[in-house]
Structures are given as structure tokens and as C-alpha cells.
Amino acid sequence: MQNRRRIVAVWVVVLMSLIVATGAYAGDVEKIDINTATVEQLTQLKGIGSSHAAGIIAYREKNGPFQKPEDLINVPRIGQKTFEKNKALITVQKLKKRQAKK
């Protein structure tokens, strides 16, 4: 009986450690705003290398800011699969219009 309690106690400690570690990791992940991200930031996404990142930046410079994360699939060579792998990491902040100088 004593041995069984020890085993249960060890399992509780192990499970609690995993829960804490997972929670800390999830909190550390920052979303990447595809309207303002640099090449270095974009390459943190799965399946996005430096050439794809440069393509994303070129697309937003030519076409304006992304309206929603799903718009990423409009970028040449970025498909639905790449978007699906990264959709939890992508955000789109609305850019504030610059106020005209008086």
C-alpha cells in the first residue's frame, strides 16, 4: 500500500510538471504580425524560408496590408498547407492611418 502511494505521488508530480511546462511554453509563443514582420521574423514560421519571407514582404508592399491572416495564401508560392501549419502563429493588426502633418 505504501509503495502504491509513492507511485501515485510520483505520477502526480510528473503530470503537474508537464502541465506547468506546457503552459509556460504556450505563453512564450508570440504571434507574428504579417503586416509588420521582418524577414527574420517571418522565417520563424513553418515552411517559410528567406525567399518566401521576402516574397511575403514584396506582396504586402505591392498590394498593401493584409486584411486577415488567410490573405497569406494570395502570396505566390504560399499555399493552403503552409497557412494551415502556421495559422495559430499569424496575426494581422490593422495599421493606423498616419495623420496628416499640419
Query: In tens digits, what is the pLDDT along the chain, a chain of 102 residues?
Result: 788 888 877 776 666 666 655 444 444 568 999 999 999 999 999 999 999 999 999 999 999 999 999 999 999 999 999 999 999 999 999 766 543 344
Q: Which residues contact 43 (CB under 8 A, 6 or more apart)?
A: 49, 50, 53
pTM over 0.85? The answer is: no
The CATH architecture of the domain made up of 32-91 is Orthogonal Bundle (1.10)
Name the residue ranges covered by the structural domains of the chain: 1-29, 32-91
Dump strand ranges (E) for 1-102. 32-33, 90-91
